Amino acid sequence: MLVPDVNRSESDFVAVDGDITFGMSAVRNVGEAVVDLIVAEREKNGRFIGFQDFIDRVDVAVLNKRVIESLIKAGAFDSMGHPRRGLLERSLDLLDATVARRRAEDMGQYSLFGGSDAAVEAVAVDIPDLQWDKRTRLQFEKEMLGLYVSDHPLLGVEKALQMMCSTTIPGLWDQSDKAKATIGGIVGGVTQRFTKSGDRMLFFPFEDLMGSTEVICFPKTVAEYGPLVREDAILIVSGYVDHRGDDVKFIAQELREPELREGDMVRLRVPATVLSRNMVDRLREALANHPGSAPVYLHMQSENGEKVIRLGDEHRVEPRSSLFAELRALLGAKAVL
């Protein structure tokens, strides 16, 4: 699954070469009419080469600030090389200047003699190289798309989380009814209900990287641990299995928020075109020079978006300055995230 992309997406989801690209009309605040205008311009005059080219060419009706903000947060301009935070911070300046210029041109106010009327000239605005931290970026992505697509909050901390648990979430299906267990994962949307006596209960979907279940917190548990239960929180939950009904549920008795060090990993962002056979061999050699326990994640960028690949355990490394220096020399100064 790939994030939506103004150069690749249609209104609905599409499958190409084994990848499914998110449909732009499924992005929050972006309707089918807007998507039709984007796709029509792309099909008529070719791919957009950058954000400025996009807002210069699409119908002005597309240049609604809420629409553009939603597309940025969803990752629809990632393939152009624009960092989401940096683009969002400067997008209002770019939109205001471009919309004013285009409307003035439509009214015939551009200079026929090469004049320099500041009201109608295109304004060049640099996009800062700023990116949100992973948690913030994925929260925005989920807000716009309804799910995590480009990455997952548990990637990189799954080993540490697993060591605190007695089973994975799919492993609950092999447990007997009322069996005690400890599971770890991330909280989905939280629903609260009240007993006849007015006591609060909480229900929420809880998922790890292998599966999900519904967790139920009865009033006693809510009274003690309720503040920990919030959407997107990573928790360790102890309790017992409930096999009643059509599906397996989990009754929570204790909850805690673990201390997880996501820093014990290495993330590399590399254009797919750079990864020739020779470059891959050199990358393997560089990683082999620094063996350790930290996993390596490769963010491969292409015109179709970004794919995140976790390298095999044989390529785990020791994160240290000498490794980072070698990787930057090999892949570029901005390759190490």
* 271-305 pLDDT tens trace: 888 888 888 888 989 898 888 777 888 888 877 77
Mean pLDDT of 107-134: 60
- Alpha helices for the chain (secondary structure H): 32-45, 51-57, 65-74, 84-106, 134-145, 158-162, 219-225, 277-288, 321-331
Mean pLDDT of 176-198: 92
Structure tokens at 184: 């770890």
CB atoms within 10 A of CB 335: 19
Q: Which DSSP category does 32 fall into?
A: H
CATH for 158-256 is 2.40.50.140
Residue with the two structure tokens 């930290």: 294
Query: Mean of the per-residue pLDDT values for the chain?
Result: 86
Residue 29: which pLDDT band, with cuts at 50, 70 and 90? very high
pLDDT for the residue 43: 93
User: Domain ranges in the chain?
Assistant: 14-145, 158-256, 266-331
pLDDT for the residue 113: 47
pLDDT for the residue 226: 93
Q: Mean pLDDT highest for which of 75-84, 104-113, 222-231, 257-266?
A: 222-231
Q: Is the pLDDT of residue 34 over 90?
A: yes
Residue 123: which pLDDT band, with cuts at 50, 70 and 90? very low
Distance separating alpha carbons of residues 233 and 207, to the nearest angstrom: 11
Residue 118: which pLDDT band, with cuts at 50, 70 and 90? very low
Distance separating alpha carbons of residues 104 and 190, to the nearest angstrom: 49
Nearest Cα neighbor of 70 from 172, 150, 13, 141 is 141
Q: Give the CA radius of gyration of the chain.
A: 24
Exposure class string for 274-288: b at 16+ Cβ within 10 A, else e:
eeeeeeeeebeebbe
pLDDT for the residue 263: 56
pLDDT for the residue 125: 56
Pairing mode, strands 266-271 and 305-310: unpaired
Answer for the pair 206, 237: CB distance below 8 angstroms, yes or no: yes
Q: Is the pLDDT of residue 111 over 50?
A: no
Residue with the two structure tokens 């390298």: 311
Answer for the pair 40, 34: CB distance below 8 angstroms, yes or no: no
pLDDT for the residue 77: 93
Give me the helix-helix angle, 65-74 and 84-106, nearest 10°. 150
Q: Is the pLDDT of residue 253 over 60?
A: yes
Distance separating alpha carbons of residues 335 and 316, to the nearest angstrom: 17
Structure tokens at 104: 């003035």
Distance separating alpha carbons of residues 88 and 2, to the nearest angstrom: 20
Distance separating alpha carbons of residues 5 and 75, to the nearest angstrom: 7
Strand, helix or coil for residue 325:
helix
Distance separating alpha carbons of residues 252 and 261, to the nearest angstrom: 25
The more confidently predicted of residues 71 and 300 is: 71
Q: Is the pLDDT of residue 14 over 60?
A: yes
